[in-house]
Amino acid sequence: MHLLISPAKTLDMDGAIAVPKTTLSPFLKESTLLINDLKKLRSTDIQDLMKVSSKIAELNAERFNKWSLPFNETNAKAAIYAFKGDVYTGLDAESLSEDDINFAQEHLSLLSGLYGLLSPLDLMQAYRLEMGTKFANIRGKNLYEFWGNKITEEINKREKDYVINLASNEYFKAVNKKVLNAEIINPVFKDEKNGTLKIISFYAKKARGMMTRFIIQNRIKNVEEIKNFNLGGYAFSESLSNNKEWIFTR
């Protein structure tokens, strides 16, 4: 069983965190190709491309220009600790034990527009490049064309049984379901509001992180045990679920 989650726009690259080891993404050559093109952009180009403020555009122009190999623990940070945001609030990686992190390293991957696929302890340097960005590159008109089947083939190396998709649609779209060998399960989190069950983005994102944490801390390898997820007041709904989409409500 392998978990997939999305990255986050917000980063915290400060403060080294003691980890059992650090690793490197298998796609740093691809990342370098993208960075070489990104370095050609002016901050105004980035602002138009990413639909961000001038301040954020300038920050990311600086990040792209500073990006360089080799990565080490002084110029980069383990991915699971670098990303912040709703999913990572739910995951709360800083409070996971060394054994938890070791389990996560084997069963969790983070999808990324720049890095393709990151293991939790893969070193990364700061960036912003959402998977849905229509960034023309040497392989196509967007990042989906750039990555092609590479991400999916790497997932196939890591898992032949089940993929638990806790990523957003934007990021999971980078996975070619026709090429993926594993069966996909999509947990969905719904909250009752005004008598109706709805997906509320903020809560759903945090729940994805909480479920990731639940699976890691309980060392879950049998997918059926995921139905026992009960953090944050959520509970599995047998009546609303099917084989592919598992609904959790509160």
pLDDT of amino acid 80: 97
Per-residue confidence in pLDDT tens, the chain, 250 aa: 999 999 999 999 997 787 879 999 999 999 999 999 999 999 999 999 999 999 999 999 999 999 999 999 899 999 999 999 999 999 999 999 999 999 999 999 999 999 999 999 999 999 999 999 999 998 999 999 999 999 999 999 998 899 999 999 999 999 999 999 999 999 999 999 999 999 999 999 999 999 999 999 999 999 999 999 999 999 999 999 999 999 999 9
Chain centroid, CA 54 distance in Å: 26
Tally helices (H) and strands (E) across the chain: 10, 10
Residue 15 has a pLDDT of: 76
| Pair of tokens at residue 194 | 């005004």
Nearest-angstrom CA–CA distance, 77 and 123: 5
* Residue 215 and residue 94 in contact, taking contact as beta carbons nearer than 8 Å: no
Q: How far is CA 40 from CA 30, 64, 65, 143, 161, in A?
A: 16, 9, 9, 17, 41
Q: What is the pLDDT of residue 110?
A: 98
pLDDT number for residue 19: 83
Alpha helices in 83-188 (DSSP H): 86-91, 98-107, 143-147, 150-158, 169-172
Element (H, E) at 202: helix 201-217
CA 223 to chain centre: 20
pLDDT score at 126 = 97
b/e string for 169-197 if b means 16 or more Cβ within 10 A?
eebbebbbeeebebeebbbbbbbeeeeeb
| Closest C-alpha to 218, from 87, 42, 46, 99 | 99
